[in-house]
Chain A
Amino acid sequence: MRAAVAIFPGSNCDRDMIVALKKITGKSPLKLWHKDTEAPNLDLIVIPGGFSFGDYLRCGALAARSPIIKNIKNHISRGGALLGVCNGFQILIEANILPGSLVRNKKLLFTCRETTLEVQNSLQSPFLSSFNTGDYLNIPVAHNEGNYIANTELLKELENDGRIAFKYKQNSEIETDYNPNGSLHDIAGILSKNGRVLGMMPHPERSINSLHGGTDGLKFLTKSIEEIVG
């Protein structure tokens, strides 16, 4: 497994992601700096969460103009897998790698808490092929701008093509705020057309420890990596 974590000024979940990947693969992933224009052939690049460039202008906007993005685009055109978590997801959207927009949470408040995700698996994606539609994962979110919006055509396209990876799941009928940010169709993560790029708001790397946050994130990352390595 050749994995790397891309780091921008203001990234702050890079260490957490490195710890998680190391726990799974036994070795530390490579670190890519936002100014790096060269990178070896990799199986997986992860863009971790944080506040790249302070979230100024629009979340992910400034990072999406960093030199490394070209590199990342090359990686995916070679068929490499790419995972963007939280701010990483925002960066992928700003870089036009994934469609739609992520805007302020509906309540206009930063929200840090557990969420339950329902897996939607209809596309052949290495991130999801070990799961069945309807499986669920408990993984925390922590963000200010995770409210996914898209126009009707795009939403339809995403639904039809099976590109919605996760939806926030309502645990009981009385639960009204199961969706932490108001995103359309309860979308928590989406895939690229070929399923090899995944952007998600929840933080799997914060769910790798039975004492806090549970281990569903670990399960998800482990299965993804097994599939990616093939």
Chain B
Amino acid sequence: MKKTNLELKEINKNEYIAQQESNLNQALEMGLSKDEFELICNKIQKIPNQTELGIFSAMFSEHCSYKSSKKWLKTLPTKAEHVIQGPGENAGVIDIGNDQAAVFKIESHNHPSFIEPYEGSATGVGGILRDVFTMGARPIALLNALRFGSINHPLTKHLVSGVVKGIGGYGNCIGIPTVGGETNFNKSYDGNILVNAMAVGLAKKDRIFYSAATGAGNPVIYVGAKTGRDGIHGATMASAEFTKSSSEKRPTVQVGDPFTGKLLLEACLELMQTDVVLSIQDMGAAGLTSSSVEMASKGGLGMHLNLDLVPTREEEMTSYEIMLSESQERMLMILKPGSEEAAKLIFNKWDLDFANIGKVTNTGRLILDKNGFEACNIPINPLVEDAPEYNRPYEIFQDKKIVKSDYFKSNQTLNDILIKMFKNPNIASKKWIWEQYDSSVMGDTILCNGKSDAAIVKIHGTETKNTLGKGIAMTTDCTPRYVKSDPITGGMQAVCEAARNIVASGARPLAITNNLNFGNPEKISVMGEIVGSIKGISQAALTLNTPIVSGNVSLYNETNGQGILPTPVIGMVGIIDEVENSLGISAENNNTLIILGQNEDFIEGWLGCSLYQEIVTDDFDGAPPPINLNAEKKIIDMMLTLNDNNLLTGAHDISDGGLLTAICEMLFENNLGLNVNLPKALLSSKTKDHLTHSWCFGENQGRIIISTNKTDEVVSLLKKYLIDYFILGSTNTTSNLNLSNVDTISISELNSINEATIPSIMD
């Protein structure tokens, strides 16, 4: 084989310097720094050629190397008895009993979705699904956490419409129900929307597939769609800030093909029924580069591939293009030698390409041949182990200012505020969005979109005589306002709210996947947001015994120096033993509503950093409501006890918009009314009193409203476990929310507003 690049020892110093300079420029264009370039030259003992540089730049990109966050990700709690696989694989795996495992992960596709909302979000869904089925799991549910700019921003409508169509376009077609998620609007996302997609799958506990390559000499197999010039250097793009000129640099975006995705899913799962797959890895960000490098490096081995054998869609693709293409719907596998023919038959049945493109080696090197030349020959270790890890300076800014309720000189009635709440797209019903998602395909969806705080999907095949079976509960959550004002509290809050959502649906929280979306980590304050929220997430996850098993980091979400609100999205998964016990948010007639985590003495609610503040003053500031982790744990355990005793008919946690907003949401579905039993101190208050407003709209944490028709039994348990509680009253059919003499509110009117807000913007 002819060498195409210069080995250090073969050339003299001048030549070396000249060559190095020209390649350094190339390296800088690819997003590497000068230091990184020099490190590479040293480690591989030669000047890298274009293909090799491309491979390094992809592997060293923020997206693949986690260079800014790695130091801190390591501090996340990742272990528990029920964890089978923590971070480091394509997805996390937890034990859910009956020899079954739940496999799940969340991933961002923020930048591509801004450039091309339909394809960007569609390929985001496709990518996260591959992460899950690559591990041998059949995906059973999808969720998505979306953040858009101000609803008045000229691009927002177009982005919402495209992203929602794209998510549905992929999920609906591949036939996996989209059962939950969240959508928020804030001007900080005007130039950087967030599209985080989460997938949950189901596998047999002893049939999990991993990515570490095994056995020198074993065949390396490429399957799926052909490689084209799609999204070359997407991983680097995902790690760069948007500027005015980036519209020109836009590489071709990837186009997803959910149909091929479906074929790939079925073909892979069919092959995995046999015992021939030794390791498997999807081609996600940085395509063939990161898949081959990660497989080899995890196995402590090397790989020798012939790029002429890679199925391509376009003519004359260079080795650089083949290695960096981000064409979708592709996988790399190591098979048992001798099994290739049988495996090929399966892929042919599904009309997919199947190519034996090389071998695993024990050289520890990545060697690539193209057109009879050696296009790349580099050691694998430096690509992974020497990838930079920065200890970036940071400062955790915590706003300590306490905004008291008398700060709000309100001249509005409770009804005025509620109307504003439900006219706000952050609170209003997202039905316009979720109706575009197929939520019932696969026939196992029990609760989804809007019906409950967490979605519940039945575990197929666990039906017995007594029950329809077990269910998996899942939710995504984050309140960026809180994280901005206090990253530590905000991080804790995201975990606690997710856990509350899970228990409010009747399930037990088990584990977390997280998507850390932030601005530019080179800014001390942004780095502080990252570190702070990781600290908060860690503390809460430890207390609740919900370890982090997978995740994703998306940095540089900035446009022209304007960063997004820090948005560490928590995806949480839980389990419910009998789906009959799952809980929705809607109350029935003659139910008693009781708040857990609040008592008669609670009068002044926390309005600092609340949605109320944002609605009344158009901004927010001050400390977010504090989190008491032990209290949260107590409420969560209490919920499980109450539900185990079959005492509940529904539940809803109190979050954005506070108590009154939550009550309305519980009454909407059945168009009910409630005479609210106000605490004595408020009985003679007025509808415009700031104290009343704080009680109604404060966002104090650790609270869940339950509905029950067994009030006495509930109360005696609450007393026994020393839980603060407050009985709100009993639902009736008047469709009026009465707060003694303070105010009367029409639930049906509010619900019409609630339903109309988003369609009136989008249609």
Contacts and interface: CB of A to CB of B under 8 A. Distances in A.
Interface of A: 9-10, 12-13, 15-16, 19-20, 49-51, 53-56, 107, 109-113, 140, 142, 144, 203, 205-206, 208-209, 211-213
Interface in B411-456: 434-443, 445-447
B580 A140 contact: no
When A and B form their complex, which 6 residue pairs have the shortest distance between CB atoms, in order from nearest?
A: A12-B175, A54-B259, A16-B443, A51-B173, A142-B438, A206-B440
B443 A53 contact: no
A208 B445 CA distance: 12
Given A9-B263, A208-B443, A211-B468, A112 B438 contact: yes
B262 A112 contact: no
23 contacts: A12-B175, A12-B262, A16-B441, A51-B259, A54-B257, A54-B258, A54-B260, A56-B259, A109-B435, A110-B172, A110-B437, A111-B436, A112-B435, A112-B440, A203-B440, A206-B441, A206-B443, A211-B579, A211-B582, A212-B445, A212-B446, A212-B447, A213-B440
B322 interface: no
Interface in B577-608: 579-580, 582
Given A51-B172, A112-B435, A13 B441 contact: yes
| Most B C-beta atoms less than 10 A away, residue of A20, A56, A112, A113 | A112
Given A9-B259, A9-B350, A10-B173, A205 B443 contact: yes
Contacts of A203: 440
A111 B175 contact: no
Interface in B539-591: 579-580, 582
A78 to B, nearest CB: 29
A123 to B, nearest CB: 30
Contacts of A56: 259
B21 interface: no
B168 interface: yes
Nearest to A209: B468
B270 interface: no
A50 B176 CA distance: 11
B106 interface: no
B55 interface: no
A19 B440 CA distance: 14
B174 interface: yes
A204 to B, nearest CB: 11
A211 B443 contact: no
A211 B580 contact: yes
A162 B227 CA distance: 52
A221 to B, nearest CB: 13
Given A10-B262, A112-B436, A140-B440, A54 B173 contact: yes
A134 to B, nearest CB: 26
Contacts, number: 87
A211 B257 contact: no
A10 B174 CA distance: 7
Nearest to B164: A109
A98 to B, nearest CB: 23
A111 B351 CA distance: 30
Interface residues on B, range: 20 to 34
Nearest to A35: B349
Contacts of A142: 172, 438, 440-441
B279 to A, nearest CB: 27
Contacts of B262: 9-10, 12, 51
Given A9-B262, A51-B262, A209-B468, 11 more contacts: A9-B263, A12-B441, A13-B441, A16-B443, A51-B258, A54-B173, A54-B260, A55-B173, A110-B437, A142-B441, A211-B582
B446 A211 contact: yes
| Most B C-beta atoms less than 10 A away, residue of A20, A51, A110, A212 | A212
B259 A10 contact: yes
A162 to B, nearest CB: 30
Contacts of A16: 441-443
B436 A51 contact: no
Contact of B175 (A50, A55, A107, A206): A50
Contacts of B260: 54
Nearest to B432: A109
A125 B106 CA distance: 48
Interface of B: 165, 168-169, 172-175, 257-260, 262-263, 350-351, 434-443, 445-447, 468, 579-580, 582, 763
Contacts of B169: 110
Contacts of A49: 441
A50 B263 CA distance: 13
A87 B46 CA distance: 58
A53 B436 contact: no
Contacts of A112: 172, 434-440
Contacts of A213: 440
Nearest to A20: B443
Contacts of B435: 109, 111-113
Contact of B438 (A19, A55, A107, A110): A110
Contacts of A206: 440-441, 443
A229 to B, nearest CB: 24
Contacts of B168: 110
Given A51-B173, A55-B173, A111-B436, A9 B351 contact: yes
A191 B439 CA distance: 28
B583 to A, nearest CB: 12
A143 B533 CA distance: 41
Contacts of B447: 212
Contacts of A107: 763
A51 B172 CA distance: 8
A164 B763 CA distance: 31
Given A9-B259, A16-B443, A209-B468, A51 B438 contact: no
| Most B C-beta atoms less than 10 A away, residue of A56, A113, A209 | A209
Contacts of B437: 110, 112
Nearest to B449: A112
A107 B434 CA distance: 15
Nearest to B440: A206
Contact of A12 (B174, B445, B579): B174
A157 to B, nearest CB: 33
A10 to B, nearest CB: 5
Nearest to A111: B435
A85 to B, nearest CB: 12
Given A10-B173, A13-B175, A51-B172, A212 B258 contact: no
Nearest to A13: B441
A13 B172 CA distance: 11
A113 B438 CA distance: 8
A19 B175 contact: no
B443 A19 contact: yes
A206 B262 CA distance: 20
Nearest to B431: A113
A111 B442 CA distance: 16
A30 to B, nearest CB: 18
A154 to B, nearest CB: 29
A107 B173 CA distance: 19
Contacts of B263: 9-10
Contacts of B440: 112, 140, 142, 203, 206, 212-213
A109 B436 contact: yes
Contacts of A205: 443
Contacts of A113: 435
Nearest to B437: A112
Nearest to A142: B438
Contacts of A53: 259
Contacts of B579: 211
A7 B374 CA distance: 45
Nearest to B172: A110
A183 to B, nearest CB: 17
B528 to A, nearest CB: 42
Contacts of B165: 109-110
| Most B C-beta atoms less than 10 A away, residue of A19, A203, A211 | A211
B148 to A, nearest CB: 18
A181 to B, nearest CB: 12
Nearest to A205: B443
